[in-house]
Amino acid sequence: MIKVQNVKITGIAACVPKEVIKNNDLSDNTKLLDSIGVKQRHVVLENQSTMDLCVCAAERLIKELNIEKDRIDAIIFVSQTPEYQLPATACIIQNILGLKNNIIAYDVNLGCSGYTHGLFLASSLISSGLKNVLLLVGDTISKIVDKEDSSSNLLFGDAGSASIISQKNGSEIDFALGNDGAGFESIIVDSDQNRKTCNKSDYLTMKGAEVFTFTLQRIPNLIKETLSYSDLNSKSINYFIFHQANLFMLKTLAENLDLNFNQFLISIDEYGNTSSASIPITICHNREKIFKAPGKSLMAGFGVGLSWSSAVSELEDTVILPVMEL
Amino acid sequence: MNKEKILKIVADTIEVESVSESLKLNEDIWDSLAIIVFIAALNKEFGLVLNPEKISSAKTVQDLLDIVEQG
């Protein structure tokens, strides 16, 4: 567990593509559809990318916060679907957004745990003296899903997000982070560009039952340890904002932890599992609810890696923009 | 481990009134969703987290009872 002091989430924005796919048009398996809880998903067109969605969110957020561009000291781009294998997408975005040259810019390859990991990295940079960090988190998993794979094809949506993390005296964020590489094959695209071995796939493969078991083994303890470290109990958390893996998983976690499901913020019905972007898009989608009763939120991401992380933060003064479309 | 409770969980998972130990688990009823629902129900009832590969390899309800018994 790690406490980062004098840091806050100043603003959050999320952007999805305009194109919508209704799951009812693809499947009449109501048991499966009810279980994953996805009614519709936004998916990119062929010429749209994760970078486009994140840039859209970032431009709007920078404008809304009226933050001078030369006060942004770092860009972290967290994604499994970057613009190129190289260079890092963050380097390209620095130029697109017209940010200064004496800036730190790098990519991080993480998915379901990507937002909370990114939040930790951004907060650590603030802790080391930077004033504002632009955290861009998003994925366009629809591009790597096998359309014949019925469960994955009904689950994933595309989204990008932008958050500004800044210095603020007296404000703090508590983090817990972990990883178990023994499960690396549970969620994988094994196109294997370096080893050049045969029989590899460019599509995402997900062993659903293994990921489910991993979540049951790791996440209840993660949440209990996080609450304990932050000296909180479940009633002192206004919102549990978990990675939107699927609705059945979220309900199972709530049951396992004996949490009130009404404290969970949900976006999977409207946007699907948006991978790394699922926590920020859930925040933006539920902004009215958060405005009415702001307070402490416990965010938790878990999945590909296999990797997990949590963050406890106030969202009281955070500028949260509505989900926008590109 | 309470055998009757496990049989009830299997029946609920595949949405039937009751099951016998000899019931064969073919792909039509024992699909990936059923396996996840079964793992979740066992976790809720007994606090167990069972190996999904073993659960998936079960050919009959008796196999499931054996796997649960072994933990």
pLDDT tens across B35-44, in order? 999 999 999 9
d(CA A72, CA A165): 10
| Partner-chain contact A252 B43, CB within 8 Å | yes
Three-state secondary structure of chain A:
CEEEEEEEEEEEEEEECCCEEEHHHCCCCHHHHHHHCCCEEECCCCCCCHHHHHHHHHHHHHHHHCCCHHHCCEEEEECCCCCCCCCCHHHHHHHHCCCCCCCEEEEECCCCCHHHHHHHHHHHHHHCCCCEEEEEEEECHHHHCCCCCHHHHHHECCEEEEEEEEEEEEEEEEEEEEECHHHHHHEECCCCCCCCCCCCCCCCEECHHHHHHHHHHHHHHHHHHHHHHCCCCHHHCCEEEECCCCHHHHHHHHHHCCCCHHHECCCHHHHCECHHHHHHHHHHHCHHHHHHCCCEEEEEEEECCCEEEEEEEECCCCEECCCEEC
Domain span at residue A216 reads 1-326
Options A15, A54, A112, A284, the catalytic residue: A112
Domain span at residue B7 reads 3-70
A117 is an active site residue: no
CB pairs under 8 A between A and B: 41
Looking at residue A123, what is its pLDDT? Answer: 98
Q: For residue A213, list chain B residues with Cβ-Cβ distance below 8 A.
A: 39, 49-52
Distances (CA, A) of A269 to A58, A222, A243: 25, 25, 13
| Partner-chain contact A209 B43, CB within 8 Å | no
Q: For residue B52, list chain A residues with Cβ-Cβ distance below 8 A.
A: 207, 209-210, 212-213
Looking at residue A289, what is its pLDDT? Answer: 95
Q: What is the CATH number of the domain that holds B62?
A: 1.10.1200.10
Rounded to the nearest angstrom, the minimum Cα separation between B49 and chain A is 7
A273 is an active site residue: yes
Looking at residue A196, what is its pLDDT? Answer: 65
| Partner-chain contact B40 A252, CB within 8 Å | yes
Domain count, chain B: 1
Rounded to the nearest angstrom, the minimum Cα separation between B23 and chain A is 22
Rounded to the nearest angstrom, the minimum Cα separation between B19 and chain A is 20
Closest CA to A155 of A46, A254, A245: A245
Q: What is the largest CA-CA distance in chain A?
A: 55
Options A42, A238, A273, A284, the catalytic residue: A273
User: What's the distance, CA A265 to chain centroid?
Assistant: 14
Looking at residue A198, what is its pLDDT? Answer: 59
pLDDT at B26 > cutoff 90: no
pLDDT tens digits along A151-209: 788 999 999 999 999 999 999 999 999 999 999 999 999 876 676 665 667 888 889 89
Looking at residue B21, what is its pLDDT? Answer: 87
Distances (CA, A) of A136 to A93, A207, A223: 10, 28, 25
Q: Shortest CB distance from B32 goes to which of A209, A252, A256?
A: A209
A29 is an active site residue: no
- Is the predicted ipTM greater than 0.90, yes or no? no
**Chosen from A36, A151, A215, A252 to mutate, greatest number of chain B CBs within 10 A:** A252
Rounded to the nearest angstrom, the minimum Cα separation between B29 and chain A is 12
| Partner-chain contact B39 A212, CB within 8 Å | yes
End-to-end CA distance of chain A: 38
A98 token code pair = 């017209």
A150 token code pair = 């019925």
Distances (CA, A) of A147 to A27, A50, A201, B32, B51: 12, 19, 13, 18, 28
Looking at residue A271, what is its pLDDT? Answer: 98
Q: What is the CATH number of the domain that holds A322?
A: 3.40.47.10
Looking at residue A182, what is its pLDDT? Answer: 95
A278 token code pair = 């699922």
Chain A contacts in chain B segment 20-59 (CB below 8 A): 32-33, 35-37, 39-40, 43-44, 49-53, 55-56
Looking at residue A318, what is its pLDDT? Answer: 96
Average pLDDT of every residue of chain A: 94
Report helix, strand or coil for B64: helix
Taking a C-beta distance cutoff of 8 angstroms, is the pair A131, A73 a contact?
A: yes
| Partner-chain contact B36 A212, CB within 8 Å | yes
Domain count, chain A: 1
d(CA A293, CA A212): 32
Closest CA to A100 of A78, A75, A123, A124: A75
Residues of chain A short of pLDDT 70, as ranges, are 192-193, 195-200
Mean pLDDT for B44-59 is: 89
Q: How large is the C-alpha radius of gyration of chain A?
A: 18
Taking a C-beta distance cutoff of 8 angstroms, is the pair A224, A259 a contact?
A: no
B45 token code pair = 């009832």
Taking a C-beta distance cutoff of 8 angstroms, is the pair A141, A271 a contact?
A: no
Options A23, A132, A238, A243, the catalytic residue: A243
